[in-house]
Amino acid sequence: MNNILVVGSVAYDTIETPVQKKEFILGGSANYFSLSSSLLVPVRVVGVVGDDYKSSDLEMLKERNIDLAGLQSVPGKTFHWVGKYEDAMNEAITLETHLNVFEQFNPQLPEQYTSSDIVFLANIDPELQLKVLEQVESPKLIGADTMNFWIQSKKDKLLDMIAKIDILTINETEARMLTGEFNINLAIQKMAQMGPKYVIVKRGEYGFIAYDKASDEMFVMPAFPVQTIVDPTGAGDTFAGGLFSYLSCLNEWTFNDIKRACIHGSVVASYTVEGMGVEKVKDIQLSDIQSRTTDYLKIIQVGNHAKAIEEVTSKSAHS
Out of 16, 117, 226, 253, the only residue in the binding site for a copy of itself (CB under 8 A) is 226
Under 8 Å between Cβ of 45 and 66: yes
Residue 186 binding a copy of itself, by CB under 8 A: yes
Out of 202, 203, 280, 282, the only residue in the binding site for a copy of itself (CB under 8 A) is 203
The nearer residue to a copy of itself, 65 or 72, going by C-beta atoms, is 65
Q: How many residues line the site for a copy of itself (CB under 8 A)?
A: 66
Residue 319 binding a copy of itself, by CB under 8 A: yes
Residue 170 binding a copy of itself, by CB under 8 A: no
Mark residues 248-287: x for contact with a copy of itself by CB under 8 A, - for none.
Answer: -xx-----x--xx--xx---------------------x-
Residue 215 binding a copy of itself, by CB under 8 A: no
Residue 317 binding a copy of itself, by CB under 8 A: yes
Residue 318 binding a copy of itself, by CB under 8 A: yes
Residue 206 binding a copy of itself, by CB under 8 A: yes
Pick the piece of the chain touching a copy of itself (CB under 8 A) from 9-17, 73-81, 184-192, 271-279.
184-192
Residue 112 binding a copy of itself, by CB under 8 A: no
Out of 58, 130, 159, 221, the only residue in the binding site for a copy of itself (CB under 8 A) is 221
Out of 56, 96, 180, 315, the only residue in the binding site for a copy of itself (CB under 8 A) is 315
For the chain, give the secondary structure using H, E and C: CCCEEEECCCEEEEEECCCCEEEEEEECHHHHHHHHHCCCCCEEEEEEECCCCCHHHHHHHHHCCEECCCEEECCCCCEEEEEEECCCCCCEEEEEEECHHHHHCCCCCCHHHCCCCEEEECCCCHHHHHHHHHHCCCCCEEEECCCHHHHHHCHHHHHHHHCCCCEEEEEHHHHHHHHCCCCHHHHHHHHHHCCCCEEEEECHHHCEEEEECCCCEEEEECCCCCCCCCCCCCHHHHHHHHHHHHHHCCCCCCHHHHHHHHHHHHHHHHHHCCCCCCCCCCCCCHHHHHHHHHHHHHHCCCCCHHHHHHHHHHCCCCC
Binding site for a copy of itself (CB under 8 A): 1, 18, 38-42, 65, 87-88, 176, 182-186, 203, 205-207, 209, 217-222, 225-229, 245-246, 249-250, 256, 259-260, 263-264, 286, 289-290, 293-294, 297-303, 305-306, 308-310, 312-319
